[in-house]
Structure 1
């Protein structure tokens, strides 16, 4: 086997350009997904059955079908309807970049909504009752008690979801986007060095994953800092 490092170093700038596009797709779709997941999760924990129906069907569809199928439905399916082609949305839906972001956002919103629902339901009821006893309105409880606690609880699982979304973003290359995987495939078609280029791309994915893991550990410590402050006095008492 002939191994050449030159082909990796020569094409590293292009791979990094693809990595930037990958990060852009994950970041933008992730932010949109979080915003979409909030109302979905709140509807899921509602005691009204009719409010639970839509988020249940939405989450069931996006968790139960492959991400690749969802990408094709948005990218190829939207163009099949005259109403969409003649609407103001067509300049967006005809672009693979925006189709990828829309699909990734809708997909990850379903998973985040379920994580958030479970986190909300796992908050100790005593904290909710204490907030009600203080006369807090429901919107105020959401902002000060429920959502901060829920985000702290779900943060480790959400970090795993972002990692999965990072790996799933490689499917953007199937609709002509030159993300990290798409760029690697393009370079391989020109240089015929699949082992070297895919290894380099894999290392870049690993570095990005390590950075994401570190970021979410910081966020977890931020959202759970009140628990850490409460545990420290207990540790001191135990030592005495």
Structure 2
């Protein structure tokens, strides 16, 4: 059986670095946007709730690949020519893929956090308001932090799914792990060795995410036990 050369392995490692970069950027965007959507949705403004509902339904019902292609081929047409040219000269593929992945994942993460909010007694919100906290202060310091802790298991699952979905970015030329594996396979025809190595790298990345998630969940359980004993 033919094995990959050191240069080819380094090519895959470089692709993995791009995959991790794309994943982290998309996750930060998705998480930030999801929390914002949840806060907006809990207001009494009907137009705000309608906007969030429309956002969630769009991203949950349109294939992720279509969203990535739309951001890369469609959205730049709305930009001024100068800005569009600058974007394409500064790794537009990676940036636009991160935006598409982040915005798509935000719809699912927002629903997971909203489920966590439902598990929090309404009396906590009422008590904090009675003590003089504003709506935003109540959500920021009391309600949302508790919802995030409750939502840790599904959030870990979303992070894992986002990490795997980064491979979709190869469709617009992002040189991530799957892209590099395909390039090596096309040049060498070493299909088993190439995609076998890529598979191992994806597994290692997935296991790392699961490990980090389990550590965070364990720390939360210890904190709750400490509060209970106190």
TM-score by length of 1: 0.86
Distance 1:90 1:120 in 2: 43
Look up the match of 2:148: 151
CA shift in 2, pair 1:85/1:77, >3 Å: same
Look up the match of 2:83: 88
RMSD: 2.1
Distance 2:114 2:82 in 1: 35
- Contact kept? 2:38, 2:113, Cα under 8 Å: yes
Q: Where does 1:50-65 land on structure 2 (aligned, <5 Å)?
A: 50-65=47-62
Runs of 5+ in structure 2 lacking a partner? none
CA shift in 2, pair 1:34/1:90, >3 Å: farther
Look up the match of 2:122: 125
Q: Could you tell me which of 213, 218, 221 is aligned with 2:215?
A: 218
How many residue pairs get aligned? The number is 228
CA shift in 2, pair 1:225/1:144, >3 Å: farther
CA shift in 2, pair 1:231/1:8, >3 Å: farther
Look up the match of 1:204: 201
Secondary structure class of the residue paired with 1:88: helix
Look up the match of 1:192: 189
Look up the match of 1:140: 137
Distance 1:16 1:157 in 2: 29
Look up the match of 2:4: 7
1:98 matched to 2:95 = yes
Secondary structure class of the residue paired with 1:106: helix
Any idea what the Cα deviations from partners look like across 1:42-80, whole Å, max 9, x if unmatched? Answer: 12222332210111111101111111001111111235x
- Contact kept? 1:93, 1:99, Cα under 8 Å: no
Any idea what the Cα deviations from partners look like across 1:176-225, whole Å, max 9, x if unmatched? Answer: 11101000001101110111111111111010011111112222334454
1:37 matched to 2:34 = yes
Greater alpha carbon shift after TM alignment, 199-208 vs 30-39: 30-39
Any idea what the Cα deviations from partners look like across 1:213-239, whole Å, max 9, x if unmatched? Answer: 111222233445442224557xxxxxx
